[in-house]
Structures are given as C-alpha cells and as structure tokens.
Amino acid sequence: MSFESELLTPSEAAVVASVTVRNVNRAIDEAILPRRFLHLKDGGRWVKSDGCAFVRFYFHTATRLTAEERTRVIQSLGGAAGTPTTGAWVFKDDVITLNFDRFVDETSARHASLRRARARVSEDPDILGGAPTLKGTRIGVHDIAAAVAAGTPEARLRAAYPGLADEDIELATLYAEANPVRGRPRRPAALPPGVEVISERTVTRRPRG
C-alpha cells in the first residue's frame, strides 16, 4: 500500500490520524510534521494525507518513546524524498529499530473510510437547507452522530430512521467528526424518541493542488 496525497483540514487529518484536532494543530505549530506535508496559505491550514501517519505515530507512541526519539524517526522517514511503499518504512539507528508500516496501513485505511463517508453524503440546498445528509434520504449526518454520542442504541436509531444500515451510522459519524458543526446550530425536524440533537455546518472551501 502506498501513501495517497490529498489536502485535509485539521479536523479531517485528526480523523485519519485518530488523534485530536488540538494535536494536529500542535504538530503544525511545533514543526513536528515536516513542512512538505503542510499547505499553509491564504490563512488556511491544511495537512497532506500522506503526513497523517507521522502525526499518528508521534502521539500514539508518546508513552513508549521520548519526544527526541519520535522526532528522529519522523525526520528520517518523513524527510526522505518520494513516498516509499509498504515494506520500505523501517527506521534503524543505534537505539531503535522500528517498522513504520502499521502507521501507514492504519492511516491509509482511515483515509479510505473518510472517502467512503464523503461519497455517501450529499449537501443539497433543497434538503434540510443544505445540511449534510445521507444520499437519497433526509437524514442529517450530524443528527445521527449526535444521537450516537448521546448513547442512543443502533437498534433505536434504525427504528427511528427506517432503512438506515450499520455502515450508514459508521460513515455518518465519521463524516460528522471530520466536518464538525460550526456557527449557530439549528434543531432538526425529526429525532429518535427521547434524543435531543442539533446540526448545522459551515463548509470550508478546499484549495486545489
């Protein structure tokens, strides 16, 4: 498996790397992530998807490796020209021998899930005012995510929204996490019984290149 390159918002990069948005911003601000994996222009902050493995590695190994050791691995592998395929991501020095493939594979899988989530969601101004919904439905993805966060059982969600599949719940939750609600929230028209959720999102334009 090889890295794919796509510009991600900090929220999207956090989903792909399975870390907090705060940690993604820390990786940018503290120059943890090599500059070649960043796009910082026009007031925007973007992370190239092929840099998410390094973000995941840095924060997921914090209890096992020192900051100096983690930085040394990132500078060695992340500073290399090109994008090696799986099998080539090995770091060795006098202290550490590290197979980096797991971080590549995990973030690649998360990136693929994010893409599936995008493909399952539409934003039609004639449906729920343009709020993100599952394609072919009037089900708001942030409504589903909020219900899940509130502890609503999946069976209850499927009863409230007939035709909702397990994968729909997973992808809606992932999409909502990558595209959090901003601005003044609105109250949706239909909710699962006994659940209160709110949903509204401002769409950030994705730069080209």
Residue 90: per-residue pLDDT: 78
SS3 content of the chain, % helix, strand, coil (to 5): 45, 10, 45
**Domain 123-209 adopts which CATH fold?**
Arc Repressor Mutant, subunit A (1.10.10)
Range(s) of the chain covered by CATH 1.10.10.10: 123-209
Residue 146: per-residue pLDDT: 92
pTM of the model: 0.79
Residue 154: per-residue pLDDT: 84
Range(s) of the chain covered by CATH 1.10.1660: 7-114
Q: Which residue has the tokens 């493939």?
A: 101
Distance CA 74, CA 199 (A): 38
**Closest Cα to residue 58, out of 20, 12, 108, 111?**
20
The sign of the CA dihedral 181, 187, 190, 194 is: positive
Residue 175: per-residue pLDDT: 96
Phi, then psi, of 92 in degrees rounded to 5:
-140, 135
CA-angle at 107, arms to 41 and 64, nearest 5°: 105
DSSP notation for 187-198: --S---TT----
Q: What is the DSSP letter of 85?
A: P
Q: Which of these CATH numbers, 1.10.150, 1.20.5, 2.50.20, 1.10.1660, describes 7-114? A: 1.10.1660
Residue 207: per-residue pLDDT: 54
Give me the residues of the chain with pLDDT under 50, please.
1-3, 82, 84, 86, 183-205, 208-209
